[in-house]
Structure 1
Amino acid sequence: MLVSDALAQRRQQMPSRSEQPGGEAPPPRQQEKNFPFDASWTIRQMNGKPVTGYRATLKVDSNLRGTGFGGCNTFSASAYPLRQQAFAVGPIAVTKMACDKGASDFERSYLMALRTARQWDLVEGRLVLKTGSGEIRFDRGI
C-alpha cells in the first residue's frame, strides 16, 4: 500500500468536524452588503413610530457627503458607511430657517438620531439606520 493510499483511507475513516462530539461547523460567512450611494431616502419611521406630518430626507453620495432635509432646514455632514455595515456621521451643518415649534422639535430629534447612527442595513429595499436610541427607517425617495 502506498503512503498516499493509506492517508486517503485514514481520512475516509475520520469523522468530519461537524460530526465530532462538541464540534460545530463554522457559521456560513454573511456576504457584505454595499451601501446604496447616491440614492435618495425619505423617513418613514423613527424609534418605532411612524413619521407623519413631517418630511425628512437623506442622501449619501460617493464622496461620503450626507445631505438632506430635516423637516424645516437642509443639512449636510460627512457620512461614512464602514465595513461590516457600521456607519458614522460627522458634525452636521444646518441652514437657519424660521420654523414652527413642532417642525423644529422633529428636526432636532431627527438630526440627533442621525448623528448617533452606528449601523446601517437594507431590509426589504428600505434603508435602516440603527442609532443610539433606536432606529430610523427610510423608503427610497424619488
Structure 2
Amino acid sequence: MIRRLGYAAILAAMAAPMLVPTDAQAQRRNQMPSREELGTPQSAPIQQQEKNFPLGAAWTVISLNGKPVADRRATLMVDANLRGTGFGGCNTFSAAAYPLRSQGFAVGPLALTKRSCDKGLSEFERAYLTALRGTRNWDLVEGKLVLKGAAGELRFDRAL
C-alpha cells in the first residue's frame, strides 16, 4: 500500500509542472481577444436542407444535354412504389427508380415496348433512355427537375 502511494506521489510531482502554464503561454492567452471582444458571434455550421424527390409528379423533357427538345415528347413519373414510368418518344417504358441520399438517383434496367418508329425519333429515344438509365444525381432548379449522369443531363418541366 505504501509502495503504491509512493509511486502515485512521484507521478503527481512529475506531472504538476506540465499542467502549469509557462509565462509565454500565459502571455499568449492574454494577448488573444475572445470572439465576444471581436464582435464575431459563434455560428453553427450551415446545414443544407435535404430535398425530397417529387414522387407522383409527371414530368416532360425540355432539354437533353443542353439542347432543347421542343419537337420531341418524352415523359417520366416516379411513383410512391419507386417505379419509374414514361414515354420515350416512340415507346413506353418502366423501371425501378430510386431517389437516394444526398440527391443521388439510380435507375434499374428498362422494360420497353417494341414499337417501330422513324430513325430520328428512334435516335432521340435511345439518347433519352441512355441518359435516364445513366442518371446518378437529381436536383430541383427553379421548378425544373434535373437528372445528371455520365451519359448526359436531362431537364424536365412539370407536366399537366
**TM-score, normalisation: structure 1:** 0.82
Q: In the alignment, which residue of structure 2 is the partner of 1:47? A: 65
Question: Which ranges in structure 2 are unaligned for 5 or more consecutive residues?
Answer: 1-31
**TM-score, normalisation: structure 2:** 0.73
Higher helix share: 2
Q: In the alignment, which residue of structure 2 is the partner of 1:131? A: 149
Give, as a single letter, the amino acid of the residue that structure 2 aligns with 1:53.
D
Quick one: distance in 1 between partners of 2:151 and 2:129?
12
Quick one: distance in 2 between partners of 1:109 and 1:118?
16
Q: Which has the higher contact order (CA 8 A, sep 6+)?
A: 1
Q: Does residue 61 in structure 1 map to residue 61 in structure 2?
A: no
Q: Secondary structure at the match of 1:118?
A: strand
Quick one: distance in 2 between partners of 1:30 and 1:52?
34
Q: Quote how far apart the aligned CAs of 1:42 are.
A: 0.1
Which structure has the larger Rg over C-alpha atoms?
2
Question: Which ranges in structure 1 are unaligned for 5 or more consecutive residues?
Answer: 1-12
Q: Quote how far apart the aligned CAs of 1:27 are.
A: 4.3
* Structure 1 moving runs of 4+ over 4 Å: 24-27
* CA deviation profile, 1:11-41 (whole Å, cap 9, x unmatched): xx9634xx7xxxx966411000011000000
Quick one: distance in 2 between partners of 1:116 and 1:27?
33
